[in-house]
């Protein structure tokens, strides 16, 4: 499996050494702002939505035999963890050629496929997006990332008959008015694991990851309030051995959320996540051997 890289779009890290049946991806850690972004919001504010440094926290994945994919563009430009139809028609100048179904927890609060607002309810643009602009973002950024992830999962599954996909994210320490909690100021746990209440991943794997994180000294909650975005839904099929689990990390564990820089907890968390990566890869290998 060769490294595949699309400048400004994605970086594909092939495993070092023998491949194991695990794929990690970080869809929201990108900070390369395309020149046609055109948002009226300052870049520092836009970065508040970024899963900053998540790609670094899980950076050891290839050393343990796993595939690791990271998006290089910001989610506020176009969000690869949204369904393509999850878009607010009011953001577009003209009629979109396909039916749109804005999500209650995404487009309806301004953060669908194309973000309309950022925290705290600040308009992203002083105009509507043209059809050509939206189409370009989908064709140049969104679909290549999604296709690279789909292909990686399919390739690993073809080789082993099973695959475990870990979708890597971070979350603010406290909810905002846009958050799924429905109000601002709710304190988040250290980790939230999302498997759509067992629909995208076998319970054994979710429980294994939860137990490993607890063994490392972390607080873990399942599916509340984050139960998994579109990427874990789109490519999972537990009945066929394709398991997808979303992991959300509270940002204050490892970074200053105001300055978007690592804090004193970064090194410890990175060490713990490296141990988690190693444990997940070993788990997947055992499951394949015992199948």
The domain locations on the chain are 5-289
Per-residue confidence (pLDDT) for residue 1, from 0 to 100: 60
| Contact indicator for 50, 109 with CB cutoff of 8 Å | no
266's enclosing H/E stretch is helix 266-289
When pLDDT is cut at 50, 70 and 90, the band that residue 185 belongs to is confident
The Cα–Cα gap between 288 and 22 comes to 11
As a whole number, mean pLDDT of residues 126-150 equals 97
pLDDT surpassing 90 at residue 182:
no
What's the mean pLDDT in 36-60? 96
Task: State mean pLDDT over 84-105.
Answer: 93
Query: In whole angstroms, what is the distance from residue 145 CA to residue 187 CA?
Result: 32
Span 44-54, mean pLDDT? 95
d(CA 19, CA 23): 10
pLDDT for 145: 98
In this predicted structure, the answer to whether residue 2 has a pLDDT above a threshold of 70 is no
> pLDDT above 90 covers what percent of the chain?
90
Look up the CATH number of domain 5-289.
3.40.630.40
* Each residue's pLDDT tens digit, 187-203: 999 999 999 999 999 99
- Report strand pairing: 92-93 vs 67-71: unpaired
pTM: 0.96
* Predicted pLDDT of residue 105: 85
The mean pLDDT of 248-260, rounded to a whole number, is 97
Give pLDDT, residue 254. 98
Mean pLDDT of 86-93: 94
The pLDDT of residue 175 is 85
């Amino acid at each position: 499996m060769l490294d595949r890289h699309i400048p400004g779009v994605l970086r594909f890290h092939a495993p070092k050494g023998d491949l194991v049946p695990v794929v990690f991806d970080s869809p929201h850690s990108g900070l390369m702002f395309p020149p046609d972004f055109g948002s009226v919001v300052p870049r520092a504010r836009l970065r508040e939505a970024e899963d900053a440094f998540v790609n670094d926290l899980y950076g050891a994945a290839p050393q343990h035999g796993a595939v690791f994919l990271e998006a290089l563009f910001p989610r506020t430009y176009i969000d690869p963890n949204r369904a393509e139809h999850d878009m607010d028609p009011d953001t577009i100048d003209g009629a979109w050629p396909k039916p749109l179904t804005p999500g209650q927890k995404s487009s309806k609060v301004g953060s669908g496929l194309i973000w309309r607002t950022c925290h705290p309810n600040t308009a992203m643009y002083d105009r509507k997006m043209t059809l050509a602009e939206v189409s370009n973002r989908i064709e140049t950024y969104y679909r290549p990332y999604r296709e690279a992830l789909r292909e990686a999962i399919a390739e690993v599954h073809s080789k082993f008959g099973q695959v475990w996909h870990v979708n890597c994210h971070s979350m603010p320490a406290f909810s905002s008015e846009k958050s799924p909690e429905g109000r601002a100021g709710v304190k988040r746990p250290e980790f939230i694991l999302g498997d759509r209440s067992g629909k995208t991943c076998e319970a054994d794997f979710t429980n294994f990851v939860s137990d490993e994180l607890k063994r490392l000294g972390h607080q873990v909650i399942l599916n509340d309030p984050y139960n998994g975005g579109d990427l874990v839904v789109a490519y999972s099929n537990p009945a066929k051995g394709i398991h997808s689990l979303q992991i959300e990390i509270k940002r204050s564990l490892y970074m200053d959320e105001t300055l978007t820089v690592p804090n004193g907890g970064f090194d410890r968390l990175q060490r713990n996540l490296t141990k988690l990566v190693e444990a997940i890869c070993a788990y997947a290998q055992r499951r394949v051997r015992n199948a």
